[in-house]
Amino acid sequence: PYTSGRAAASAAPPAARPVAGVYVRGIWVRKPLIEGAIMAFWSKLNVSSRDRNDVDAEECADATLAVLRDAARSEAGKAALRRLLAPLQGKKAGSSASGGGSWLLRTPRFTNRLLEAHRPFFLGALGVPAGALFASRRTTESGDPFLKWAAAFLARRGAPLLPLEPGASKALFSEASEDELQERCVKELLAELKKAPAARTDAQQAAAKLLAFVGAESRSLRLHFSALVAVPFAHGAHVFMPATALDRGLLLRLLATLQKRLGRFDDKCVHATQAFFETLPAHGGLSLPQLDAALSRAKQVGVESRAFERRLEVGGGGGAAAAPAA
């Protein structure tokens, strides 16, 4: 019987939709590595296994990255990719690193393989500046004096220190360590000192004398005083101190910083600490001759300490007197 064109069209079966899976040169090979996705590759990927019904996971990850890189070449593609990756930034982005509503992130195992192997690309796709560090409230509100100062200092300097949101991808975003913060602070401080070298002060001369007294590895350290530094710290060959007047407190803080940098219990630091408490005033400024006298006393403390240790070794004293025989 005659059927109108409109009726025939309505009676036609719906067009078949492609099945989710990995396609190589138009041929379905296996289930998708991203849940529900159609992953079609015309190059950069070959089938594997004896039955030619699989693909190498690493090669598939590389081919997927090539597709994402191509997408990021255009502004529209870059914006779309950033929206798909936004849940990786955590709750601030309105979701979590598990993927939320992003089809690209539905399979964490495959996603993490991509993120770990190509971290700089994905950070760039999210608009994160190169070399950025990440700090959570645990760091920015830390009770540790250095961590608290470093976070505030880098933020004021405009250095790339970004907030670490709850739920952010651990493969992309990790809390900056104290060592990383120190390294970034050193970079910023050295750049500032290069523009405006600090004038030589009594505090600097005193610190140089103290480094020479401690000797050994401390002789190779480079000491810097800066008004930008609120908390003494050492990193690599550099020691940074606040640009304050020379007093006993400054010398004791420098000794503590040296001890931490050396990573061991140094006898000379201990001797100097005792001498400073014995000979230097607790408050008020110091002169270089006063420091010289204190260092002379520190040397004497060292002599006394070694003599005491020798007496102990030969049993000649240092302990309590023996109780009389009954």
309, pLDDT greater than 70: yes
Q: Check whether 129 has a pLDDT greater than 80.
A: yes
- What pLDDT is attached to residue 323? 44
**Measured CA distances, 146 to 185, 192, 232, 245 (Å):** 11, 19, 8, 20
For 57-103, write each residue's pLDDT tens digit: 889 999 999 999 999 999 999 999 999 999 999 876 555 555 557 99
27-68, pLDDT tens digit by residue? 999 999 999 999 999 877 888 877 778 998 889 999 999 999
Q: Which of 27-36, 52-61, 195-204, 253-262 has the highest mean pLDDT?
A: 27-36
Average pLDDT, the chain: 85
pLDDT of residue 101: 74
Q: Using alpha carbons, select from 77, 93, 70, 85 the residue that is nearest to residue 115.
A: 85
pTM given for the model? 0.68
Confidence band, pLDDT 50/70/90 cuts, at residue 326? very low
Burial class (CB in 10 A: 0-12, 13-18, 19+), 242: middle
Residue 201, pLDDT score: 87
Decide if pLDDT at 9 tops 70.
no
Model confidence at 287: pLDDT above 50: yes
Higher pLDDT, 199 or 256: 256
DSSP, residue by residue, 270-324: HHHHHHHHHHS-SSS---HHHHHHHHHHHHHHHHHHHHHHHHHHHTSSSSPPPPP
End-to-end CA separation in angstroms for the chain: 133
